[in-house]
Amino acid sequence: MPLKVMNVEAATNGGVGMVDVSWTAEANRIIYLVEVALVTNGVAGVFTNRAFTSKIKCTVPNLNPGSTCQFRVISINNLGLSDASDVATAISL
């Protein structure tokens, strides 16, 4: 099984409705899944799939401007999915 992704960070990148998410590489992965949950009144909603990438950084577009979002990353290989990473939080512009 792939290992849990570590050191996930999320930061506003200056683009409207966009957040950059980055993490430390997980050696046993084939691809990463980036998930997003909208935070409303301090409570995170349901995480939804937003991107698949083989890189260790991803720009997540089409977020509601001014919204607070939580991001987590899952590594995937031919044996399955890792546990979800710890969450990182950012506010989109």
Using CA of residue 30, residue 57, residue 85, residue 73, what is the dihedral sign?
A: negative
Residue 1 reports pLDDT greater than 90: no
- What's the pLDDT score for residue 80? 96
Residue ranges per structural domain of the chain = 9-91
What are the start-end ranges of the H helices in 23-67? none
Strand partners, 80: 77
- What's the pLDDT score for residue 43? 94
Both tokens assigned to 46? 């349901």
Whose structure tokens read 């995170």? 44
Q: How far apart are CA 16 and CA 81, in angstroms?
A: 31
Confidence of residue 13 (pLDDT cuts 50, 70, 90): confident
Look at residues 68, 16, 58 and name the one whose alpha carbon lies nearest to residue 33. Answer: 58
- For 9-91, CATH number out of 2.40.50.140, 3.40.640.10, 2.60.40.650, 2.60.40.10 equals 2.60.40.10
| Average of per-residue pLDDT across 64-69 | 94
